[in-house]
Structure 1
Amino acid sequence: MAADFFRITLAQLNPTAGDIAGNAAKAREARARAAADGADLVVLPELFLAGHPSRDPVLKPAFQAACRAAIEALARETADGGPAVLIGTPWTEDGKLYNACVLLDAGRIAATRFKANLADGDQKRVFTRGPAAGPLSVRGVRIGVAIGEDISLEDSSNYENVVETLAETGAELIVVPSRSCYVRSGGDRRLSAAVARVTESDLPLVWLNQVGGQDGEVFDGASFALNADLSVAAQLPGFVAEVATLAWSRGDDGWQCRGPVTTLIEGEEADYAARVLGLRDHVEKHGFTGIVLGLTGAIESALAAALAVDALGSGKVRGVMLSGPGTSQASLDQAMAVAARLGFAAERVPIAAAVEGFERALPGPLAGSARHQLLAGVRATLLMALASLSGALAVVVGATAEIGDVAGGFAPLEGIGPAQLRRLAALRNRWRFADALGPSGEVISPALITSPLEARDDRALADRASSDAFEG
């Protein structure tokens, strides 16, 4: 018998790469929440169980077997009569590896669906392209599953219109588990693809995205649902984990929903939130105890400090001023003021002896950019060493960013030029990301933001920050 009411729980969650047990535990928690809400189905994002898209661990038979074992365990738990589970996982069948979504219901693996339109790069390298298939039956409702790029707007000889196939084979509702990275204005492109598929199929669509940072990528969540008339049925927030249950009802015009609609942050607010989330998850998922930040008293150092405190709280941030014998008192005072405004501990560590040791090994004195590079290298090496003593992450800015990244540090301001640097600093003084752990209000000195700075490229800006910190 066809149902007239159907509840779907969207689990917009933050998995960890390779942590199959931990990700399965998050799936269990989401299912318990769904059961409490009276849901029929809980949906988790694309490749959720593995926690990463298609890196080399996915190719290992032992990893694939562990994913299957976890899926089978989750399936057995659905014998309790609670919600069915649709979860993304790598899946091996007939010797081929697929990017799959698996339906778990009534104590068994009820069905599998494979991604047809694989993204360029690792996904095409690792996974086998799956066929477009018909809908799944869940509690009498025919659910069409399209995974990630299966709803993209590509038009080529290799592209499979999965939604068209689903509509032609009787789907009533399209569900799209995804794993989409944050890019500026990326939400507009996602919405355009969803609108196109709803328009051509005349079916409502639910798009569920992962949230969180992993290995330099940030996934922004911002899951949504559209009714068949293109009205917004639900909008989940960006950059935070969220579990929400949507109540759908069937009328003369098909399935309709009126769920929560959150106003998303956009533009540079979203850029800032993405960097906070990426830094926080890099620390937490790699087991660091906190952050050791190289302070220079320059604007980039102040913005990196604000990001660090917003990500982890002041108690897990330590500032270090690695100063040469000629470092100006003004630079030292500015660095201390940065720490005071944000409430984290800071100290000065002289580097003159280390620099002199390198210079004594050289046949002659260095000048200009070559000396700046030496100073930056000394700074990065000492910062990494200080961080390693406490199991913390070294956060690098300015001229040390490239060197520090190679050495294992983290550069939260990567890709930001001088103009955007100032805009983000001014933004943080008047706005605080809702999930931030730092204080509200003016946390970066306006004098740093408005101080004159000649037009120059990012490398020149980095050299300026290095020379400010290591004068003499």
Structure 2
Amino acid sequence: MQVLRVAGCQINTVVGDLDGNVERILAALDEAEKVGCDIAVFPELAVTGYPPEDLLLKPGFVADNLHALQAVALRSRGCVAVVGFVERGHDLHNAAAVCAHGRVQGIYRKRHLPNYSVFDEQRYFRPGSGDPDLFAVAGVPVGLSICEDAWNPTGPVARAAAGGAEVVCNLNASPYHALRQEERERMLATRAVDAGCALVSVNQVGGQDELVFDGASTVFDGTGTVVARAAQFVEEVLVVDLELPAPFRARLLDPRGRPPVEPLVIVPVSECPVEDVRRAPPTADPVAALLDPLEEMYRALVLGTRDYVVKNGFSHVVLGLSGGIDSSLVAVVAADALGPERVHGVAMPSRFSSEASHDDAADLAQRLGIDLRTIAIEPAHAALLEMLAPTLGERPPNVTEENLQSRVRGLVLMALSNELGWLVLT
């Protein structure tokens, strides 16, 4: 039985940071090379970061993305690197480059472009067309697909397998929502079974603006069984020895039969593994357990907060700490995301504040080890009420007076942010 050693390179890219993304790609590729991987698969648009959106309207950025891809290709050796990038022609394509032996050996263009929810790829890209090539990696025919391609039951995964692929690699930038991974795995297992071939799905990890990518890259054999899964919400190079039984047996046993299909062109890329390092062990316990739903949501909040702060160039955050459950949860998430030394709480008592709420805020700050300062807002609150009195008249107190204090607190936090460079969390 032939074995293909695969590295699922689950990395955290930054939109627009071409140099940084190249460094991340090359570091993961070097790790894959060291343990004798035949192929290293990266996330969708790993060179540019996902989603690049209106950066694609800048010709210079698109050109720089191609130079960055060449930098990756030049460093490639025996381990084949499959890397997402933006291809430039008459139109732009969301594409994957197959890099080995110092150059780009071939390109796959995404066929199915999502244009719903957070996705607007049809605005920027043209879909690929025609029959795709397969790539012979260590003698194994490998097909490619990109994210949404795999959700189509008769799409590129099925075509690649029918055309001779024994493994299909799917490059992803699939955002998180609650229980998303279970949904993905049901779909991908079905694709693997229907195609009768192994499926390697590599997802991006990290926060990017309002999106969080949860990783959990997964490898399936031809029966739809999960044989490897990377952890959720962390970077990882997942190394797995993928056993590939003779493909004709699964086809002969398929009760649906196999209509005759023209074989796809196979581009030779690599012939044999690097034997002297082949015995380096793959990932121990390669099937990471999925988190329970509550822990999954919390990890998403922590990762999203950390990456939003760091990727936008902030080092510290500030929040109003009232002692209530909402601000307390924000403080806990921030401390876990950034470390307590980078979190600043501000208690802003007014005439409506109780001593108990201030004590709760102080107790939480002490337990978390975060900075807590007190800025009483009563002088500003009283000044606003005095300023408004001629217009509002002698009305009885109501929610207007209470809502004024929240406006004052927002002003105080923004003043600290403007002066000290801290990002305000709410």
TM range, smaller chain: 0.7 to 0.9
After superposition, the CA RMSD in angstroms is 2.1
SS in 1 for 2:104: strand
* Pairs within 5 Å for 1:49-448: 49-78=47-76, 81-93=77-89, 95-120=90-115, 121-131=119-129, 133-153=132-152, 161-252=155-246, 260-362=286-388, 363-364=391-392, 367-396=397-426
SS in 1 for 2:392: coil
Quote the offset at 1:6 in angstroms.
Answer: 2.0
SS in 2 for 1:350: coil
- Name the aligned partner's letter for residue 81 of structure 2: V
Which deviations, in whole Å up to 9, do the C-alpha atoms of 1:226-254 show, x marking residues without a partner? 11122221011101111121122344468
Of stretches 376-385 and 134-143 in structure 1, the one that deviates more from structure 2 is 134-143
C-alpha distance in structure 1 between counterparts of 2:55 and 2:400, whole Å: 41
Quote the offset at 1:353 in angstroms.
Answer: 2.3
SS in 2 for 1:181: coil
C-alpha distance in structure 2 between counterparts of 1:277 and 1:255, whole Å: 44
C-alpha distance in structure 2 between counterparts of 1:255 and 1:11, whole Å: 31
Query: Quick one: which of 4, 12, 15 aligns to 2:10?
Result: 12
Q: TM-score, normalised by structure 2?
A: 0.86
Q: Is the 8 A contact 1:54 1:122 kept in 2?
A: no
C-alpha distance in structure 2 between counterparts of 1:393 and 1:14, whole Å: 22
Evaluate the alpha carbon distance shift between residue 254 and residue 385 of structure 1 in structure 2; reply closer, same or farther with a 3 A threshold. farther
Quote the offset at 1:42 in angstroms.
Answer: 1.2
Q: Is the 8 A contact 2:321 2:345 kept in 1?
A: yes
C-alpha distance in structure 1 between counterparts of 2:403 and 2:128, whole Å: 51
Q: Is the 8 A contact 1:151 1:162 kept in 2?
A: yes
* Pairs within 5 Å for 1:16-27: 16-27=14-25
Which deviations, in whole Å up to 9, do the C-alpha atoms of 1:230-288 show, x marking residues without a partner? 22210111011111211223444689999711111031111111001100111111111
Evaluate the alpha carbon distance shift between residue 253 and residue 99 of structure 1 in structure 2; reply closer, same or farther with a 3 A threshold. closer
C-alpha distance in structure 2 between counterparts of 1:173 and 1:250, whole Å: 8
C-alpha distance in structure 2 between counterparts of 1:369 and 1:133, whole Å: 64
C-alpha distance in structure 2 between counterparts of 1:253 and 1:135, whole Å: 15
- Name the aligned partner's letter for residue 415 of structure 2: A
Greater length-normalized contact order (CA 8 Å, ≥ 6 residues apart): 2
Evaluate the alpha carbon distance shift between residue 59 and residue 21 of structure 1 in structure 2; reply closer, same or farther with a 3 A threshold. same
- Name the aligned partner's letter for residue 103 of structure 1: V
What is the count of residue pairs matched by the alignment?
Answer: 386
Match of 2:259 in 1: none
C-alpha distance in structure 2 between counterparts of 1:136 and 1:255, whole Å: 22
C-alpha distance in structure 1 between counterparts of 2:249 and 2:30, whole Å: 25
C-alpha distance in structure 1 between counterparts of 2:4 and 2:31, whole Å: 16
- Name the aligned partner's letter for residue 372 of structure 1: E
Quote the offset at 1:389 in angstroms.
Answer: 2.6
- Name the aligned partner's letter for residue 133 of structure 1: P
C-alpha distance in structure 2 between counterparts of 1:299 and 1:250, whole Å: 53
Quote the offset at 1:364 in angstroms.
Answer: 2.3
SS in 2 for 1:49: coil
Which deviations, in whole Å up to 9, do the C-alpha atoms of 1:275-324 show, x marking residues without a partner? 01100111111111111121011111111111111111111111100122
C-alpha distance in structure 1 between counterparts of 2:191 and 2:325, whole Å: 45
C-alpha distance in structure 2 between counterparts of 1:240 and 1:388, whole Å: 32
C-alpha distance in structure 2 between counterparts of 1:251 and 1:330, whole Å: 67
- Name the aligned partner's letter for residue 364 of structure 1: L
Identity fraction in percent: 33
Match of 2:277 in 1: none
Extract unaligned runs of 5+ from structure 1. 155-159, 397-472
SS in 1 for 2:411: helix
C-alpha distance in structure 1 between counterparts of 2:404 and 2:53, whole Å: 35
Q: Is the 8 A contact 1:50 1:90 kept in 2?
A: yes
Extract unaligned runs of 5+ from structure 2. 251-281
C-alpha distance in structure 1 between counterparts of 2:12 and 2:48, whole Å: 12
Evaluate the alpha carbon distance shift between residue 378 and residue 8 of structure 1 in structure 2; reply closer, same or farther with a 3 A threshold. same
SS in 2 for 1:380: helix
SS in 2 for 1:146: strand
